[in-house]
Structure formats: structure tokens, C-alpha cells
């Protein structure tokens, strides 16, 4: 009885914290849409190492900084060239903005508002249902970075800015997955 009284409040605390009840071990079957209205199914990326940088609307600049720094690091290491099409690169980097709670009626307005802030040639993928955060957790106000291997198995979920320990963890794993 005493054990139940101790465990129940702890369980309620975990559930109230917003942490995912069951951590996913593979990329979810999720369709994203970018600022131009293009769609991408995460399942279509099997065969590539996938890095998903996601978080809330307020952290879009940090998400972008992660993507740009990772892209520069991978090109510098010779993993791929800037002119290589995304589909043939061994690593795919996605910047995802969690947009849950926005009614479908307003989504075209949101895409139009986001469009000018996204650098030409890049996509900001919009997760209208916050599925990434619900599946893997969030590290607000910072970005959350997820790395999945070529089979879609999630190998790392870390939060923070693109520097220090989070950066080192991501880069070290990418060096193992894509030597």
C-alpha cells in the first residue's frame, strides 16, 4: 500500500511533465509539409542516415543553425558535395518546426508567413500535429536533434544549441554511421 502511494504520485508527475509515455525507437510514419506546400514522408528516407532538428516556433533560428552547421561539417568531411541532390546524399538533414494547434484553415497563412524567412534552396518542414515532440520529447526552448540510421532506427535524441556536448554527440555518431 505504501509503495503504491509513492509510485502513483511519481507516475502522475512523469505524465504531467509532457514526456512521451513510450519512447519510439524508429522514425514515425509521418508526412511533413514545407513552406512551399511540398510533402515528404519520413518513411521514404530509408537508406539514408536522417538528422531531424525540431522544436517550437520560437526556436526556428536555432534549428536552422543546427542544419547549416551540420551541412557544412558533412561537406567539409567529403561526405557529400553541395551540388549533390538530397536524394543521393548518404545523410539527409531536416529542419522541422512544431506547429501543433494551428487549425487547417490558417496553415496556408502560416506557410506564407514562414516562406520569406527560409533561405532559398532550403525547406522548413512543418509538423502540424507535433508528432516528433510527442514521440521523442522536446527540449524547449532549444532544438531537439534526432539521428536515425539507414534502417530508420533512432540512435540518438539530444537537446540543446549546436555547440558543446550536444554538438559533439551528434557529430561523433554521424562519424560512426557515415565514416
Give the tens place of pLDDT for each residue, 93-141: 999 999 999 999 999 999 999 889 888 888 899 999 999 999 999 988 8
Pick from 127, 136, 129, 132: nearest CA to 25: 136
Distance (Å) of CA 93 to CA 4, 13, 48: 45, 34, 10
- In a domain, residue 3? The reply is no
Spatial neighbors of 4 by CB under 8 A, at least 6 apart, are none
- In a domain, residue 2? The reply is no
d(Cα 17, Cα 26) in Å, to the nearest integer? 23
- In a domain, residue 8? The reply is no
Instruction: Say whether 62 sits in a helix, a strand or coil.
Output: helix
- In a domain, residue 14? The reply is no
- In a domain, residue 154? The reply is yes
pLDDT surpassing 50 at residue 3: no
Helices (H), 17-106: 60-76
CA 27 to chain centre: 10
pLDDT at residue 49 in the model: 98
pLDDT at residue 112 in the model: 93
pLDDT at residue 24 in the model: 57
Domain CATH code at residue 33? 3.40.30.10
Pick from 107, 108, 129: nearest CA to 28: 129
- In a domain, residue 110? The reply is yes
pLDDT surpassing 50 at residue 19: no
β-pair type (31-34, 124-127): antiparallel
165 confidence band (pLDDT: 50, 70, 90): very high
2 confidence band (pLDDT: 50, 70, 90): very low
- pLDDT tens per residue across span 21-70: 335 599 998 999 999 999 999 999 999 999 999 998 778 789 889 999 99
What's the average model confidence in pLDDT over 152-178?
Answer: 97
pLDDT at residue 118 in the model: 86
- In a domain, residue 84? The reply is yes
d(Cα 6, Cα 160) in Å, to the nearest integer? 32
Count the domains in the chain.
1
pLDDT surpassing 90 at residue 77: yes
13 confidence band (pLDDT: 50, 70, 90): very low
Residue with the larger pLDDT of the pair 114 and 144:
144
Computed over every residue of the chain, the mean pLDDT equals 85
d(Cα 28, Cα 60) in Å, to the nearest integer? 22
- How many Cβ atoms from other residues are within 10 Å of residue 42's Cβ? 23
Question: Residues of 118-134 as b/e, b for ≥16 C-beta within 10 angstroms?
Answer: beeeebbbbbbebbbbb
0.75 exceeded by the pTM? yes
Structural domain range at position 106:
24-177
- In a domain, residue 70? The reply is yes
Amino acid at each position: 500500500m505504501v509503495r503504491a502511494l509513492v509510485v502513483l504520485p511519481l507516475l502522475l508527475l512523469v505524465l504531467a511533465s509532457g514526456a512521451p509515455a513510450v519512447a519510439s525507437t524508429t522514425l514515425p510514419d509521418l508526412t511533413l509539409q514545407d513552406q512551399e506546400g511540398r510533402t515528404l514522408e519520413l518513411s521514404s528516407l530509408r537508406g539514408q542516415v536522417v538528422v531531424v532538428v525540431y522544436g517550437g516556433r520560437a526556436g526556428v533560428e536555432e534549428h536552422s543553425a543546427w542544419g547549416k552547421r551540420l551541412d557544412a561539417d558533412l561537406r567539409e568531411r567529403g561526405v557529400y558535395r553541395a551540388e549533390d541532390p538530397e536524394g543521393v546524399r548518404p545523410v539527409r538533414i531536416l529542419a522541422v518546426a512544431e506547429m501543433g494547434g494551428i487549425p487547417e484553415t490558417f496553415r496556408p497563412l502560416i506557410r506564407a508567413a514562414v516562406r520569406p524567412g527560409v533561405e532559398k534552396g532550403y525547406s522548413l518542414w512543418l509538423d502540424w500535429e507535433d508528432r516528433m515532440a510527442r514521440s521523442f520529447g522536446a527540449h524547449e526552448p532549444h532544438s531537439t536533434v534526432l539521428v536515425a540510421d539507414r534502417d530508420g532506427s533512432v540512435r540518438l535524441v539530444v537537446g540543446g544549441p549546436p555547440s558543446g556536448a550536444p554538438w559533439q554527440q551528434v557529430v561523433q555518431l554521424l562519424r560512426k554511421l557515415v565514416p
